[in-house]
């Protein structure tokens, strides 16, 4: 697999393409692209067959190792690829370590090993164990092992250890990659650690760039500990780190981030030159019964940025989730019906919401690519930023109104003896 830039320029909003894919020479993936987040090899709430009703275009599945660890022994005896094993051989796969939609537990560090938290508890991975499972999975793309357990509040010692471990992991994994006949065609991406310390980021980058010829791209790791909180992470906090990393790595390489970034931050990251994201944001919205309805095109109208279909006001609402949306959920079902399904805890409810959210998110990224082509990305960012700001103000106002009034004991009644 090879990454090529379509509009060569300095790091900025840019178009790219992933092509020359082993065994799929007829498939090309345009960037900026969003990986389809999976758990246990499947998109949450949506089967592979149902997703074909959402999109027939080639997609890349994000396979978090933390949700696939229990299949390690089985995959060692399975001759096929991970995409064949999960029943979706037509899709590409990208193996990652952690699940970006779930909070990663902090601490529990062991020298030259990374802890992951599976259903069966903590499992420690070193480079050899990690590369063994990469070879057994045979993904089209994968991230090298890294220590990404840092965030805005991480202590200097923790950051230093994260960089030290990540450099060791990168060197060990790349040595194994070079010797592997199974992975010689795989697209390799190196995580860059260092928290919010630019000097630590520089140290990590300089060590990793020694092997740049073996790498197809980079992951800006260690900005957060994953989970729903990433949705509300202020972009101003990560701006300096992202700008620094983007300027320090080779321009021709793909750059990615992971996490539940909201659409406004996605646009800001694209403006910086990020090429790859994931759909974990769709999952956390669906888990709270929320559906994206922000207008993507100028011709669309919507009454909010997102709606929560659990709210009682939708009980008699027989309109679709979004009038201009052509997804299965909007074409066949109403807000009121989905509200009913949520009320009676019917499993079809999150399925329909997830179908809509993924469809809308894929449309959003298609619009991003169109705007980069037409040099109108700033207009899209301004429009969606304003919608998101208005939505957040409404949410804050509603919470304030819902706060229960404080009650005080009456002082006009005498004591009873």
330 is in an annotated binding site: yes
Main-chain phi, psi angles of 149, to 5 degrees: -80, 70
User: Computed from CA positions of residues 89, 92, 94, 100, in that sequence, does the dihedral angle turn out positive or negative?
Assistant: negative
In 3D, which of 286, 146, 162 has the Cα closest to residue 218?
A: 146
Main-chain phi, psi angles of 143, to 5 degrees: -90, 140
327 is in an annotated binding site: yes
Q: Is 123 exposed, middle or buried (0-12, 13-18, 19+ CB in 10 A)?
A: middle
Question: Under a CB-based contact definition with an 8 Å cutoff, are residues 359 and 54 in contact?
Answer: yes
Q: 331-362: buried (b, 16+ CB within 10 Å) or exposed (e) per residue?
A: eebbbebbbebbeeeeeebbbbbbbbbbbbbb
Q: 71-110: buried (b, 16+ CB within 10 Å) or exposed (e) per residue?
A: beeebeeeeebbbebbebeebbbbbbbbbbbbebeeeeee
Q: Are strands 60-64 and 33-37 parallel, antiparallel or unpaired?
A: parallel
Question: Under a CB-based contact definition with an 8 Å cutoff, are residues 285 and 357 in contact?
Answer: yes
Collapsing DSSP to helix, strand or coil, 256 comes out as strand
The tokens describing 336, both together, are: 């009121």
Q: How many CA atoms lie within 13 A of 73 on its CB side?
A: 1
The tokens describing 355, both together, are: 């179908």
The tokens describing 193, both together, are: 């650690």
Question: Under a CB-based contact definition with an 8 Å cutoff, are residues 361 and 281 in contact?
Answer: yes
Establish whether the linkage from the previous residue to 32 is cis, with ω within 30° of 0.
yes
**CA geometry: angle at 213 spanning 212 and 217, to 5°?**
60
Strand partners, 262: none
340 is in an annotated binding site: no
Residue ranges of the annotated binding site are 325, 327, 330, 356
Binding residues for Zn(2+): 325, 327, 330, 356
């Amino acid at each position: 697999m090879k990454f090529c830039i379509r509009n060569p320029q300095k790091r900025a909003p840019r178009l790219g393409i992933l092509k020359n894919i082993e065994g799929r020479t007829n498939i090309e993936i345009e960037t900026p692209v969003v990986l389809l987040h999976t758990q246990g090899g499947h998109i949450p709430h949506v089967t592979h067959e149902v997703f074909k009703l959402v999109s027939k275009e080639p997609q890349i599945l994000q396979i978090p190792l933390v949700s696939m660890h229990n299949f390690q022994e089985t995959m060692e005896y399975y001759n096929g690829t991970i995409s064949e094993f999960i029943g979706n051989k037509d899709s590409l796969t990208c193996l990652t370590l952690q699940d970006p939609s779930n909070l990663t537990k902090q601490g529990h560090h062991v020298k030259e090993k990374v802890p992951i938290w599976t259903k069966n508890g903590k499992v420690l991975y070193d480079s050899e164990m990690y590369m063994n499972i990469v070879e057994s999975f045979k993904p089209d793309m994968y991230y090298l092992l890294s220590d990404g357990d840092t965030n805005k509040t991480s202590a200097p010692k923790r950051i230093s250890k994260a960089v030290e471990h990540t450099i060791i992991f990168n060197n060990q994994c790349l040595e194994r990659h070079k010797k592997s006949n199974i992975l010689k065609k795989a697209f390799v991406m190196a995580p860059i650690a260092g928290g919010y310390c630019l000097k630590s980021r520089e140290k990590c980058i300089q060590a990793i760039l020694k092997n740049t010829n073996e790498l197809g791209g980079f992951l800006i790791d260690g900005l957060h500990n994953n989970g729903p909180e990433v949705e509300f992470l202020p972009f101003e906090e990560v701006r300096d780190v992202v700008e620094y990393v983007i300027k320090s790595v080779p321009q021709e390489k793909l750059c990615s981030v992971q996490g539940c970034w909201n659409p406004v931050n996605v646009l800001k990251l694209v403006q910086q030159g990020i090429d790859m994201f994931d759909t974990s944001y769709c999952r956390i919205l669906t888990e709270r019964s929320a559906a994206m309805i922000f207008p993507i095109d100028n011709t669309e109208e919507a009454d909010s940025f997102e709606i929560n279909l659990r709210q009682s006001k939708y009980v008699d609402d027989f309109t679709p989730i979004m009038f201009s949306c052509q997804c299965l959920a909007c074409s066949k079902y109403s807000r009121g019906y989905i509200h009913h399904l949520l009320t009676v805890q019917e499993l079809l409810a999150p399925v329909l919401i997830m179908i809509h959210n993924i469809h809308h998110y894929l449309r959003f990224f298609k619009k991003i690519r169109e705007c980069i082509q037409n040099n109108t990305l700033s207009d899209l960012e301004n429009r969606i930023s304003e919608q998101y700001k208005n939505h957040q103000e409404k949410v804050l106002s509603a919470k304030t109104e819902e706060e229960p009034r404080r009650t005080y004991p009456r002082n006009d009644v005498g004591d009873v003896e």
